[in-house]
Structure 1
Amino acid sequence: MAGIDLDNVELRGRLDAITARTAARLGQPVSLVSMVLDTAQFFPGSHGLDGWLADLHGTPAEWSFCATAVRTGTAYVVPDATSDEHQASNPLVTVDGVRSYAGVPIVVDGQILGAHCVLGFQEQTFSEADLAELRRSAQEIGAVLEAYRLAPWPTAP
């Protein structure tokens, strides 16, 4: 992740455009490109954020729905966060009203760097077609991120 120019304004604009398209196609108010670190997640691309999330472009890692997609390397879906045993006490749910989530890993050069997701404020069942759209967009995001490398990635010995 450190080898990608995540502060590049053009890159962020391209990621914002992808998230806007994903939100529209899945009919959700919020879509994110989330980079998950040890203690925080940050959003180099987003659509539909407002309030403090729009101001900070991130959250503590322990609030991150996306961390599960990153950790498992698979899609993570929460149709109703208010009744989900892992998410019901999450401040994004209890304070900010997030109710539903679907996210998939973003892979660059074989490494999972983050997740591409949608968030909703109502209970939502996500179809396999919805997840396929997220995966297509996550692949596009991976290619865009790779195009903004600062330097060649080191190779394994």
Structure 2
Amino acid sequence: MSRTDEHRRLAVLAGIDIDNPELRAKLDEVSARTAARLGQPVSLVSMVLDGAQFFAGSFGLQGWLAELNGTPIEWSFCVNAVQSRTPYVVTDARIDALYAANPLVHVDGLHRYAGVPIVVDGEVLGAHCVLGYEPGEFSRSDLEELRRGADEIVALLASHRLPRAAPLPP
């Protein structure tokens, strides 16, 4: 992704009142519903920045992940859905070349991931995902459920746009 593309992507994210408590509560609700429907212990609305990801909505996080509410980008599964602009699945992170040494895998025990991009104004801001502590497959209907959640998330984000600042005089 070019520097200009990354700037545009982050500008779209900056135009959303992502810290709004009402928005955050609704994103948590979407996460809880997705986790329940897919039978997974963790579900997230992850916003991917240039050096980190933060969880704008979550369900099932425990310990330090719940406290920090994000991770360095190097640990992120969601960054792959953002960069590829497509759903991303890891069935067993313990044997996946990208994730076997990841602290989320070998310390926290997260072994399974499925995420779909969250696209606002043509820019992929993050991913809606589920994670599990046991390896396993995800079905096409699982990914469709994630997509439905992501569509709901996009509508929520759009409803919490910040007012545009007036252009500065020349």
**TM-score (structure 1 length as normaliser):** 0.96
Provide the C-alpha distance between the structure 2 equivalents of 1:91 and 1:113, rounded to a whole number of angstroms: 24
Provide the C-alpha distance between the structure 1 equivalents of 2:41 and 2:120, rounded to a whole number of angstroms: 26
Provide the C-alpha distance between the structure 2 equivalents of 1:14 and 1:77, rounded to a whole number of angstroms: 25
How many residue pairs were aligned?
Answer: 154
In the alignment, which of 59, 62, 82 is matched to residue 94 of structure 2?
82
Q: Which has the larger radius of gyration?
A: 2
In the alignment, which of 42, 54, 65 is matched to residue 77 of structure 2?
65
Unaligned runs of 5+ in 2: 1-12, 166-170
What letter matches 1:94 in structure 2? H
**TM-score (structure 2 length as normaliser):** 0.88
Provide the C-alpha distance between the structure 1 equivalents of 2:123 and 2:112, rounded to a whole number of angstroms: 26
Unaligned runs of 5+ in 1: none
Quote the offset at 1:5 in angstroms: 0.6
In the alignment, which of 120, 139, 142 is matched to residue 130 of structure 1?
142
What letter matches 1:14 in structure 2? K
What letter matches 1:111 in structure 2? E
Structure 1 segments, 4+ long, off by >4 Å, are none
Quote the offset at 1:151 in angstroms: 2.0
What letter matches 1:37 in structure 2? L
- 1:77-105 Cα offsets, whole Å, 9 max, x none, are 00100011111111100111001000000
In the alignment, which of 32, 43, 48 is matched to residue 36 of structure 1?
48
Quote the offset at 1:152 in angstroms: 4.6
